[in-house]
Amino acid sequence: MIDKQLDKQQVIERFEAFIRDVDFPCVGAKSALSRGTLKTIVCWSIESAWDDVRIHRELLNWAHDYKADPSLFVSLAFLFPGSPWLGEKKFEEAMWARIQSLADKDAWLAQPYDQRVSSDPQDPHFSLSFGGEAFFVVGMHPQANRPARRTPWPVLVFNLHDQFEKLREEGRYEKIRETILDRDRLLAGSTNPMLARHGEASEALQYSGRLVDEQWQCPFQDKRADQ
């Protein structure tokens, strides 16, 4: 749980220090932080729906702003320092509960699902959608098996899927991906077995960071799936 002596700014500073650490492998996150395009919002507990309306509003605004001015290396991170100490499976359950709640709000507001991706978490082309824009989520928490995801508190980082497509169009995606994989391998001592390119396997497998097998079933179902 959050140290009662830390205020929100101190929580943000600790998370940013985690990203800035020389060993942290994600060069995209480092670039977003250095450019000032990593927006960080302190919430309460990842097991609580307390902040869900606020989180969803931020996602809608993020999608709207991106449509008006598309740019690379922008990320939206929600920190949950009020969370209890969670193991990998409990974190995964809480993460999907938050995602389901956010998707339900998007559906209730009649927001369109991004037609460039699938709403089916079993589909290799699956992505989440908020405000008509596809999002990829990176879950991070203290008990994560990969050091690169072992943050002081649970964190959900939302990245716009369109950014990856733009990097592909520019011929930069593979180089950046290989750089991140190499740095992660050096940090962890092994290759992350859960990583796959979009279209090869459902990205839902990667969100929590937990190592899952072929029998794993994603608990998420978007209400707009049949529309």
Residue 115 domain-assigned? yes
% the chain with pLDDT above 90: 63
Say how far residue 35 (Cα) sits from the centre of its chain: 19
- State the sign of the Cα–Cα–Cα–Cα dihedral 21, 194, 167, 39: negative
HSE toward the beta carbon, residue 187, CA cutoff 13 A = 19
For 121-139, write each residue's pLDDT tens digit: 999 999 999 999 999 999 9
Residue 219 domain-assigned? no
| Tokens encoding 144 | 């994560």
What is the number of domains present in the chain? 1
Give the pLDDT score at 69: 82
Residue 210 domain-assigned? no
Q: Looking at residues 140-153, what average pLDDT do you find?
A: 95
CA distance 81 to 227: 37
Residue 164 domain-assigned? yes
Residue 221 domain-assigned? no
- Which residue bears the tokens 């995801």? 149
% the chain with pLDDT above 70: 92
Residue 116 domain-assigned? yes
Residue 217 domain-assigned? no
For 201-211, write each residue's pLDDT tens digit: 789 999 999 98
For 58-68, write each residue's pLDDT tens digit: 999 999 998 88
Question: What burial letters (b/e) apply to 147-175, b meaning 16+ CB within 10 Å?
Answer: ebbebbbbbbbbbbbbbbeebeeeeebee
Residue 134 domain-assigned? yes
Three-class SS string for the chain?
CCCCCCCHHHHHHHHHHHHHCCCCCCHHHHHHHHHCCEEEEECCCCCCCCCHHHHHHHHHHHHHHHHHCCCCCCEEEEECCCCCCCCHHHHHHHHHHHHHHHHHHHHHCCCCCCCCCECCCCCCCECEEECCEEEEEEEECCCCCCHHHCCCCCEEEEEEHHHHHHHHHCCCHHHHHHHHHHHHHHHHCCCCCCCCCCCCCCHHHCCCCCCCCCCCCCCCCCCCCCC
Residue 72 has pLDDT above 80, yes or no: no
Model pTM? 0.92
- The closest alpha carbon to 81, from 2, 187, 20, belongs to 2
For 16-27, write each residue's pLDDT tens digit: 999 999 999 988
Range of the domain at 182: 8-205
Q: Looking at residues 2-15, what average pLDDT do you find?
A: 80
